[in-house]
Structure 1
Amino acid sequence: METFQGTKDYWDASLYDGKHSFVSKYGNSLVELLAPKDGERILDLGCGTGDLAGTLYECGVEVVGVDKSESMVKQAISKYPHIQFFVQDATNLVYDCEFDAVFSNATLHWVQPPIKAVQAIYHSLKQGGRFVAEFGGKGNVQTITAEIIRQIKNSGFEFKAEQFPWFYPSIAEYTKLMEEVGFRVTFAQHYDRPTQLDGENGLSNWINMFGGMLFANIPEHTKGQIIENVENNLKETLYQEGNWIADYKRIRVVGVK
């Protein structure tokens, strides 16, 4: 099996499992939308540390998990040694008409260019196979990211567009890509999902887990001050009863090949 070695791996698998298990928990309802059937072969694209692949396995599915992060894949293998996991990039999958379904939770907003991922997913599916995904949609965590960028600039650093690592499309943008590739889109939804972060340090943990690329070439001590400023400025808006609430907005799509 070929693997894809990406550039710098920003992912901390232990922090992900310890403080951001909500990612997989929210994905359980996406599994219901997928409705896996016993004996199906399903690709979990962006499997993280493997929890949803484990859920699919328990449904009687032959599941393969792939993720660009080597640290995530290593953690997944250690947790679920009975499941196949590989390091691969979503834009360069090695599969040809092999899967009954491609399932992806909280991954595709990381993938650029998005059209290459949609093409690779389409190519991986058997004829009649389905693509079921959820990821960040238009306006996702906009309150948080806008404040981070503002504080970076206030600290005297330039912020370049390429430092923003995410693609948060509207339904129209993403379903157009799916249809261009050949999918028949059977379901699309954009919705608010306020998401509780864990405890007093929930926001700083979230920034350190997911926002590393925003701080390219910024010294660690300055990064720490910027994050503290972000917390102070957003506390009135996003802090409720001892927890931070992130302003998540999600897209769910289903397409058939």
Structure 2
Amino acid sequence: MPNRHLTFQGDAGAYPGKADVTARPGIEVLSLLQPRPGERILDFGCGNGDLTAEIAASGALAAGIDLSEESVMRAKRKYPELDIRAADARLYRTEIPYDAVFSNAALHWIPDAAAVARSVWLALREGGRFVAEFAGSGNLAALTSAMEEALEAHGYARAGRTPWYLPTIGEYAGLLERSGFRVTFAQHFDKPSPLKGAAGIRGWLDSFAEYFFYDVAPADKESIYRAIESKAKPRLERDGQWFLDTSRLRIAAVKERDPEQ
């Protein structure tokens, strides 16, 4: 069984882009960040560095961290001019505070959300802002329900397989407020994401097999996949095109008081 507490961060190719969902994920949320020339901005879970580079293109002094050393190496090869380093978002500390912390498609991979919120708070100057988008409550509900039903029908436990932290808007806004932030914007929205490629939903299932099918016998895999396709198709396939039923939280907050004082 895989480690449920791993902090797999924001490789844009990891989720949901691991299944090649969208060409430029995260561009929309950058409009909420509104980076300005000369600002110091940290990209939490920067993955391949594409959004870090977008931030830098605004004239901001952009830096990025990601837990995956492989992702960091790819990002540094692609953008050698950027300050991108391997670091754990739960433990990250900096001596020079940032004007803003940004994160896209990373925070749902880190169950210890309170530790991340503390890291963000400590990384910001007083009045600095935090802007993030990540998967929220209800994300992939139709697909995961189909997977759980198919697994159970084949004699496998259905519970305990989902690897993500998926809060409601109230849960996450409350967490930030308890962590010393004033929440200035919060949105929970559905964002159906088309799956590219001929493999359709099977490509996505293969990408996440280590989480959902780690104990499935090879002899059962094809039957389970067929059952998932049959259960999910009425809701997730239209005119031959498969969609993921993704749901996102988009949030902005400002650093205020220190909750530990």
The interval holding the TM-score normalised by the smaller chain is: 0.7 to 0.9
How many angstroms does 1:223 deviate by? 4.0
Q: 1:84 to 1:141 in 2, by over 3 A?
A: same
Structure 1 distance, partners of 2:185, 2:251, is 5
Residues 19, 189 of structure 1: alpha-carbon distance in 2 compared, 3 angstrom cutoff: same
Partner of 1:145: 144
**Deviation at residue 221 of structure 1 after TM alignment:** 5.5
Farther-moved stretch of structure 1 (172-181 vs 92-101): 92-101
| Change in CA separation of 1:92 and 1:237 when aligned onto 2, cut-off 3 Å | same
By how many angstroms is 1:144 displaced?
Answer: 0.7
Distance 2:183 2:7 in 1: 34
Task: Tell me how far apart the structure 2 counterparts of residues 36 and 114 of structure 1 sit (CA, whole Å).
Answer: 24
CA deviation after TM superposition for structure 1 residue 11, in Å? 9.9
- Report how many residues are paired: 250
Deviations 1:206-253 (A, max 9, x none): 233346322233345544543343123222321123321111111111
CA distance in 1, matches of 2:91, 2:114: 11
Stretch moving more, 91-100 or 211-220? 211-220
Aligned residue type for 2:105: A
Q: What is the match of residue 193 of structure 1?
A: 191
Q: Structure 1's 214 and 59: CA in aligned 2 closer, same or farther, altered over 3 A?
A: same
Secondary structure at the aligned position of 1:25 is classed as: coil
Counterpart code for 1:184: R
Counterpart-to-counterpart distance in 2, 1:108 and 1:229:
31
Q: How many percent of aligned residue pairs carry the same amino acid? A: 37
Question: 1:31: which partner in 2?
Answer: 30
Match of 1:255 among 236, 253, 256: 253
Task: Tell me the equivalent position of 1:3.
Answer: none
CA distance in 1, matches of 2:236, 2:32: 30
Q: Distance in 2 between matches of 1:222 and 1:67?
A: 36
Distance in 1 (alpha carbons) for counterparts of 2:134 and 2:25: 11
- Deviation per residue, 1:7-43 (Å, 9 max, x gap): 6979998787785262x62410111110000111111
Distance in 2 of aligned mates of 1:15 and 1:172:
26
Is 151-160 or 47-56 further displaced after alignment? 151-160
C-alpha RMSD of the superposition: 2.6
Matched, 1:214 2:215: no
- What is the one-letter code of the residue matched to 1:46? G
Instruction: Give 3-state SS (helix, strand or coil) of 2:248's partner.
Output: strand
Partners of 1:7 and 1:192 lie apart in 2 by 26
Q: Distance in 1 between matches of 2:237 and 2:148?
A: 19
CA deviations on 1:44-82 (whole Å, 9 max, x unpaired) are 111121111121121112211112222222221222122
TM-score (norm: length of structure 1) = 0.86
SS in 1 for 2:225: helix
Q: Distance between the aligned counterparts of 1:50 and 1:70, measured in 2?
A: 13
Q: Which runs of 5 or more residues in structure 1 are unaligned?
A: 1-5
Report the CA distance shift for 1:177/1:86 in structure 2 as closer, same or farther (over 3 A): same
Q: Displacement of 1:129 after TM fit?
A: 0.7
For 1:77-226, what aligned pairs fall within 5 Å after superposition? 77-96=76-95, 98-161=97-160, 163-210=161-208, 212-220=210-218, 222-226=220-224
Query: Does residue 65 of structure 2 align to residue 66 of structure 1?
Result: yes
User: Is the helix fraction higher in 1 or 2?
Assistant: 1
